[in-house]
Structure 1
């Protein structure tokens, strides 16, 4: 992850490039094992961020720069209402997530994505969620289902 601290006009610290993973391990109510917000009380309702890849399509960037944990293609993440429960299954069994609030973009998007991205991503920055199950998600195709409660 880039260290987005200070003012965007100063640019990010010269940290290593963001690292993609071929899989992540999730813990119910805690988040992604190894993530900086894992088991952080201030982030229990926002432990995992999900974004639609289409939100970033206007720019030729690696989705990792948006600093979202999960990138989905072909699903309107931003249309999910607070309290919605959905599941993702990449072959190791479904993992359910509860949607809590928007993952609003910040001014850093103008620096790491492109000028104007901060404004363009308003309302398209994804959602902050809580995992409801322990499980594993792998890179690649996933089955997504809205859970009716």
Structure 2
């Protein structure tokens, strides 16, 4: 069902400082900052060639990243994102198997303009999983 690893997301307290470290110390190609108010984050993607790293900073008071950073003030890995060809079929299969889709269970538009959902970390060994529909 899952396809390739789309990205690994890292929550950071300061997006500019984090992006500068990846650019200046690791020589990474850094994308433009992208605010995603629906998700409560501002993101920057780092292209690593075979996948991406997504740096996340809280956007607004109710950001889920703010709560994460309260527990992890220095930042840390937040989630991994896998591609799926058919998100509706993936959701149905996962729910039938007992996995929980976070929120209202309906896909939202993600940073790449594609539908995404998040799966409860307790159902996947403590790891928050994002599924992104790519159609391929």
TM-score relative to the length of structure 1: 0.27
When you count strand as a share of all residues, which structure comes out higher?
A: 2
Which protein has the bigger helix share?
Answer: 2
TM, length-normalised to structure 2: 0.29
Structure ranking higher on relative contact order (CA contacts 8 Å, 6+ apart): 1
